[in-house]
Amino acid sequence: MRYSGFKVFTEGLTGNKGWKPVWRDPKPKSEYDIVLIGGGGHGLSTAYYLAKNHGLTNIAVLEKGYIGGGNVGRNTTIVRANYSLPGNSEFYSHSLKLWENLESELNYNVMHSQRGLINLFHSDGQRDAFARRGNAMINQGDDAILLDREGVRQHLPYLDFDNIRFPVYGGLLHPRGGTARHDAVAWGYARGADKRGVDLIQNCEVTGIDIEGGQVRGVRTSRGVIRAKKVAMVAAGRSGQVAAMAGMRLPIESHILQAFVTEGLKPVIHHVVSFGMGHFYISQSDKGGLVFGGDLDFYSSYAQRGNLPMKEHVMEAAMTLMPMIGKARVLRSWGGIMDMSPDGSPIIDKTHIDGLFVNCGWNYGGFKAVPASGWAYAHLIATGEPHETAKRYRLDRFRTGRGIMDEEGTGSQHNLH
Amino acid sequence: MRLICPHCGERDRREFTYQGAAEILDRPSREVGNDDWADYLHLRENPAGETKDMWYHDPCGAWIVVHRDTVTHAVHSGELASEVRK
Ligand SMILES: Cc1cc2nc3c(=O)[nH]c(=O)nc-3n(C[C@H](O)[C@H](O)[C@H](O)COP(=O)(O)OP(=O)(O)OC[C@H]3O[C@@H](n4cnc5c(N)ncnc54)[C@H](O)[C@@H]3O)c2cc1C
Ligand SMILES: [Zn+2]
């Protein structure tokens, strides 16, 4: 079924009885050409582009829970291309271009809203760092505008500009940055992949990876053995456990990241805004809730819920930057498992086992990467060669020391990125 | 989450700084090759469940190996890193 305004109109007139489930619920076959482990954003977009760009459709996406139940449905939905290091710059730039065409590509409303992103700075040193980042973004062909204090005031009049400790000096505006509806991205790619013949198999946990003579043969799952010529791991926060099934250890530590949402309010925050002096960033969802977050809880965890100290810190930072937020009531908080890498950048690569591929290390920035990661991973799986935009995302960079991409310059410790 | 310092007892998590998995205590010898060193620095077991990791207790300055659960956040014990390394 193609969605359109006309369709919504006619369905409205006929009691909305014509809407059907948008993907099948197939039984796993005994064999596929390609099996993807993990039905999150990256697994689904990979399946979609394998089918669309490479004509490969004898594919299963195996998801242990339900589609959209992982981080793809737990994040704070920020989409941006404001990276500064070669490797990341071209990749996220490509991703943003795919985002800008995603709704017509998928015939699905992912509510991509380029409302502009402002990273605030509060010292001369930070201004210099953001000026440099902005130049890197412009060199990459993306957009960046360095705002002074008055420039920021025009966009965000509600900030506490003269805060005694952290006065606002200015901000880096990325006009094409914004947000999207996270579930819709998962659903849109799922629908597109299913329509092209990919089997999306939910409630199917991979429990083992079969390898014979250095070649992958398939997987064992809670729904039986499935043979496959190629197996692609794409399990985000659970990458460590999946790789262990192939006898591998990854340069990944899994950490908890929390997020918060308030009751629905009338439009008040029109951009994505991040504080430069504490862990706090915010946007307002189309439903009206203020969606905000901070940094990791800083210790490894698979609990999908955080602890109070980071909640306290985030609330304090919010009150420091925009005291008006004290009037809003927080409704919910939750957490997701982040696959933190030693340099804060991802991995899209082959492994030392023939036919086994790895995609992980998305840290807390993997939502915006969903289109480009699927594009590049599909290319790698189909052709055996890394895609142009992702050729620096090598697994061996931590061994050779070549091509480490540490955007924040915090060094080789997983929780510091 | 409250962690256990052998010197100070059970304390609020805010008093501690996290370093990472206690695998970091198994330092390879100087003679082994670059690959072993690279693996030591970067690769992790990353267990879902029981784990041992390194925490620094800011008030007393002790490095502690904490035995805890990454799924439930239960904390079982804390030992001085200097004792564990012996
Ligand atoms: C609170 C929070 C805020 C965030 N904010 C942003 C943001 O603003 N912008 C941004 O770009 N990114 C953000 N992120 C990061 C982003 O959500 C993740 O990097 C990204 O979603 C990870 O990729 P994924 O969608 O494929 O992961 P997931 O959706 O987690 O997919 C992995 C899937 O693998 C499945 N799986 C695991 N093990 C197995 C197994 N053995 N067998 C079968 N299936 C298995 C899981 O069930 C899961 O569904 C945020 C994350 C969190 C938690
Ligand atoms: Zn102590």
Residue A379 makes CB contacts below 8 A (sequence gap 6+) with A49, A53, A54, A385, A386, A387
Q: Residue B6 above 90 pLDDT?
A: yes
Q: Which of A48-52, A127-131, A221-225, B30-34 has the lowest mean pLDDT?
A: B30-34
Over residues A188-200, the pLDDT tens digits come to: 999 999 999 999 9
One-letter-per-residue 3-state SS of chain A: CCCCHHHHHHHHHCCCCCCCCCCCCCCCCCEEEEEEECCCHHHHHHHHHHHHHHCCCCEEEECCCCCCCCHHHCCCCEECCCCCCCCHHHHHHHHHHHHHCHHHHHCCCCCCECCCEEEEECCHHHHHHHHHHHHHHHHCCCCCEEEEHHHHHHHCCCCCCCCCCCCCCEEEEECCCEECCHHHHHHHHHHHHHHCCCEEECCCCEEEEEEECCEEEEEEECCEEEEEEEEEECCHHHHHHHHHCCCCCECCEEEEEEEEEEEECCCCCCCEEECCCCCCEEEECCCCEEEEEEEEEEEECCCCCCCHHHHHHHHHHHHHHCHHHHHCCEEEEEEEEEEECCCCCCEEEECCCECEEEEECCCCCCCCCHHHHHHHHHHHHHHCCCCHHHCCCCCCHHHHCCCCCCCCCCCCCHHHC
**Chain A: residues touching B (Cβ < 8 Å):** 238, 240-241, 249-254, 298-303, 307, 309, 342, 398-399, 401, 412-415
- Considering only CB atoms, A303 lies closest to which of B35, B55, B73, namely B73
Chain-centroid distance, C-alpha A412: 22
pLDDT at residue number A347: 98
Top mutation candidate among A359, A364, A370, A417 for ligand 1, by most atoms within 8 Å of CB: A364
Q: Do A302 and B70 touch (CB under 8 A)?
A: yes
A407 lines ligand 1 (CB under 6 A): no
Q: Do A249 and B20 touch (CB under 8 A)?
A: no
pLDDT at residue number A146: 98
- Where do the structural domains in chain B lie, given as residue ranges? 2-84
Nearest to A198 by CA among A381, A1, A56: A56
Top mutation candidate among A62, A64, A75 for ligand 1, by most atoms within 8 Å of CB: A75
Over residues A250-291, the pLDDT tens digits come to: 999 999 999 999 999 999 999 999 999 999 999 999 999 999
Alpha-carbon distances, residue A311 vs A297, A301, A320, B58 (angstroms): 9, 16, 14, 21
Q: Distance between CA B84 and CA A31 in Å, rounded? A: 48
Overall average pLDDT of the A326-343 stretch? 96
Q: Residue B85 above 90 pLDDT?
A: no
Confidence of residue A1 (pLDDT cuts 50, 70, 90): confident
Q: Do B20 and A301 touch (CB under 8 A)?
A: no
Over residues A48-60, the pLDDT tens digits come to: 999 999 999 999 9
d(CA A315, ligand 1 centre) in Å: 24
- Considering only CB atoms, B44 lies closest to which of A252, A303, A309, namely A252
Q: Do B35 and A399 touch (CB under 8 A)?
A: yes
Q: Do B46 and A240 touch (CB under 8 A)?
A: yes
Q: Cβ(A151)–Cβ(A68) under 8 Å?
A: no
Q: Residue B86 above 80 pLDDT?
A: no
Q: Residue A389 above 80 pLDDT?
A: yes
Q: Give B35's contacts in chain A (Cβ within 8 Å).
A: 399
Q: Cβ(A351)–Cβ(A381) under 8 Å?
A: no
Chain-centroid distance, C-alpha B63: 8
Q: Distance between CA A252 and CA A363 in Å, rounded? A: 9
Q: Which of A5-9, A95-99, A407-411, B2-6 has the lowest mean pLDDT?
A: A407-411
Confidence of residue A412 (pLDDT cuts 50, 70, 90): confident
Chain-centroid distance, C-alpha A218: 27
Q: Mutate which of A233, A242, A301, A305 to disrupt the B interface (most B C-beta within 10 Å)?
A: A301
What the block records as the tokens of A104 is 């017509």
Provide the Cα torsion A279, A281, A287, A288; round to 10°.
90
Overall average pLDDT of the A350-354 stretch? 98
Alpha-carbon distances, residue A417 vs A296, A327, A389, A406, B29 (angstroms): 9, 32, 22, 8, 28
A200 lines ligand 1 (CB under 6 A): no
A169 lines ligand 1 (CB under 6 A): no
pLDDT at residue number A48: 98
Overall CATH class of domain B2-84: alpha beta
Q: Do B42 and A251 touch (CB under 8 A)?
A: yes
Over residues A135-179, the pLDDT tens digits come to: 999 999 999 999 999 999 999 999 999 999 999 999 999 999 999
Ligand number nearest to the C-alpha of B15: 2
3-state secondary structure of B80: strand
d(CA A296, ligand 1 centre) in Å: 15
